[in-house]
Amino acid sequence: MLAYKIFRTSEFEAFCRDGRSLGAPVDLADGYIHLSTAAQVPGTLAKHFAGQAGLQLLAVDTAKLDVLKWEASRGGDLFPHLYRELREADVLWSREIHSGPAGHVTGDLS
């Protein structure tokens, strides 16, 4: 199963430069990296990234992540939380998230 991390431009650039990341400020504050399933990505974008441009979507294979916990969050839905740094080797692909008239456009998340 794939899970997704959304980074702002500066966070993505730091990830590319360093080959690893402890996440965005919210991740650092909470002590884990917030990930989303494909079904959760639109809600995550709407709640935490509304009106923001320059976003990157990173896909990771949850089967390859150690220290991954599924925990209840928004609406009681289970979200994947990574309790270690995100590493370049974890990422299967990344791409820019475009903004359209109706909000963010992610395209096919497979």
* pTM of the predicted protein model: 0.90
Binning the chain into helix, strand and coil, the percentages to the nearest 5 are 30, 40, 30
Provide the pLDDT for residue 110.
62
Provide the pLDDT for residue 6.
97
**Domain architecture of the chain: domains with CATH:** 2-99 (3.20.170.20)
List the structure tokens of 90: 């974890």
Provide the pLDDT for residue 103.
65
- In the chain (110 residues long), the average pLDDT of successive 10-residue segments reads 96 98 96 96 92 94 94 92 97 90 68
Q: How many CB atoms lie within 10 A of CB 81?
A: 19
Provide the pLDDT for residue 93.
95
